[in-house]
């Protein structure tokens, strides 16, 4: 698979738009999921997704194989989101997905009743909404995209120790804000 992706990248760099479309097809679901998690809005996520692949297409010739291609795309996604956010200056927390599931639920134990679940999710969203941008981004990439520290480091353009610091501080803040919801 790595050799196939490398070959597609090389073809795309040589101007083969079909090869680029194949790269998009391979990575589109992950990028759309990340875009939705960052924007919390289907329409904004679609705009971000489109902007990411336009930027990737325009700069594919600059890709130097120093990281995985999806890491490069994730970094474009996060950077584009930060740029768009600067103009909007607002970042709400994620709502439940269309199928009713909510990835933030993974950071808590499953409560017994629906009303308990709703109350906990409301508290988690409110607490996560208060996280600084970089802590929130690291948290999303780690706990919702299930990326490794090394991958998050590459995407965010920061050291692994800094990623760990952001994650530690994010979890510390969330634990503090959500301490009344802990189960025995």
pLDDT tens-digit series, residues 24-36: 999 999 999 999 8
Number of independent structural domains in the chain: 2
Domain of residue 62 covers 2-88
Q: What is the average pLDDT value for the chain, to the nearest integer?
A: 81
Contact 104, 120 (CB under 8 A): no
Predicted confidence (pLDDT) at residue 99 exceeds the cutoff of 60: no
Examine the domain organization and report whether 7 and 82 are in the same domain.
yes
**pLDDT at site 23:** 93
Q: What percentage of the chain exceeds 90 in pLDDT?
A: 38
Predicted confidence (pLDDT) at residue 20 exceeds the cutoff of 90: yes
Return the CATH number at 68: 1.10.1740.10
Examine the domain organization and report whether 119 and 78 are in the same domain.
no
**pLDDT at site 100:** 47
What pLDDT digit, counting tens, does each position of 34-44 carry? Answer: 998 888 888 88
Classify residue 80 as left (phi > 0), alpha (psi -120 to 50) or beta.
alpha
């Amino acid at each position: 698979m790595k050799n196939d992706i490398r070959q597609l990248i090389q073809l795309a760099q040589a101007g083969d738009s079909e090869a680029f479309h194949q790269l998009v097809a391979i990575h589109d679901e992950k990028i759309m999921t990340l875009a939705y998690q960052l924007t919390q809005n289907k329409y904004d996520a679609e705009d971000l997704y489109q902007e990411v692949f336009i930027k990737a297409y325009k700069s594919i010739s600059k890709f130097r194989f120093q990281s995985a291609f999806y890491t490069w795309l994730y970094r474009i996604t996060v950077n584009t989101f930060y740029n768009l956010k600067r103009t909007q200056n607002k970042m709400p927390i994620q709502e439940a997905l269309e199928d009713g599931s909510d990835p933030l639920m993974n950071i808590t134990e499953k409560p017994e009743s629906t009303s308990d679940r709703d109350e906990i999710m409301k508290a988690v969203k409110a607490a996560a909404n208060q996280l600084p941008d970089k802590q929130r981004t690291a948290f999303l990439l780690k706990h919702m995209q299930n990326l490794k520290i090394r991958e998050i480091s590459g995407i965010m353009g920061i050291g692994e120790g800094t990623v760990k610091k952001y994650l530690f501080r994010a979890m510390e803040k969330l634990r503090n804000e959500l301490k009344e919801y802990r189960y025995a």
